Structure 1
């Protein structure tokens, strides 16, 4: 809204400068200056940028958490981190698609929750340990 108000102000100033011009060259100069001043208005997309930064932070924290888990194999870690990347990308797309600050906040919250929900099961090591337990129990029965 503030940016639109700035555009209106710059347009009004440019029209006044055009009205004040007394020569064709003066009109052209005022027009060019007016168009340039309107074109220079570029409102910061701070809400979206902040939300995307929060997504990046959540993704980095989750990846670190995954890396720190000793019960996961390298392949399980890679798959989980890929899932985090996918969820982060989806969250950023939702943030970009949002048209209001509330929509951006909703997309950010949903994205960070989606990322934090990544909790890969440690199936390879658990399966191997279970096989060892079964073999040990069978051997004990045999003895």
Structure 2
């Protein structure tokens, strides 16, 4: 679930290569012990294949970075009350969570990229109005 279609295809190709290499080693073996050694080495090399889910991890890191930057920008605003800042940061958290869910649901690298872009844009769009202080100033 955490791999994109491209990452799965690369891993399957790697498995096929390792299996082919193992079969060649087994065919080349001249003794029962040699066959067993080649079989064990082949199984071990196939079992060791554990592709990293780099596309989704990278996209989620970008979401975390965008969220942290937006929260810092919100904290730096002097025209917002603490309550307005808290509400805006909660909105950022919600948008980040939604973006990560979309990234997890994506099945291709392009889908992951689209979800990442939409998520970072959604986070960037959080721009809370300073209503409490503005209202007090006009009263």
The alpha carbon displacement at 1:107 in A equals: 0.1
The alpha carbon displacement at 1:17 in A equals: 2.5
* Distance across 2 between alignment mates of 1:32 and 1:63: 53
Q: 1:98-138, CA deviations, whole angstroms, 9 ceiling, x for partnerless residues?
A: 11111011101110111011111222222222xxxxxxxxx
* Distance across 1 between alignment mates of 2:105 and 2:43: 29
Q: 1:46-66, CA deviations, whole angstroms, 9 ceiling, x for partnerless residues?
A: 322221222112111111110
Q: 1:46-105, CA deviations, whole angstroms, 9 ceiling, x for partnerless residues?
A: 322221222112111111110111111111111111111121111112112211111011
| Uncovered stretches (5+) of structure 1, i.e. residues with no partner | 130-143
* Distance across 2 between alignment mates of 1:34 and 1:72: 63
TM (norm. structure 1) is 0.79
* Distance across 1 between alignment mates of 2:94 and 2:32: 57
Flag the structure with larger Rg: 1
**Higher mean C-alpha displacement, 19-28 vs 39-48:** 19-28
* Distance across 2 between alignment mates of 1:82 and 1:31: 55
* Distance across 2 between alignment mates of 1:68 and 1:47: 32
TM (norm. structure 2) is 0.81
The alpha carbon displacement at 1:25 in A equals: 4.7
Q: 1:20-42, CA deviations, whole angstroms, 9 ceiling, x for partnerless residues?
A: 44555544433332122112223
Larger relative contact order (Cα-Cα within 8 Å, sequence gap ≥ 6)? 2
**RMSD, aligned CA:** 1.9
Count of matched residue positions in the alignment of Structure 1 and Structure 2: 129
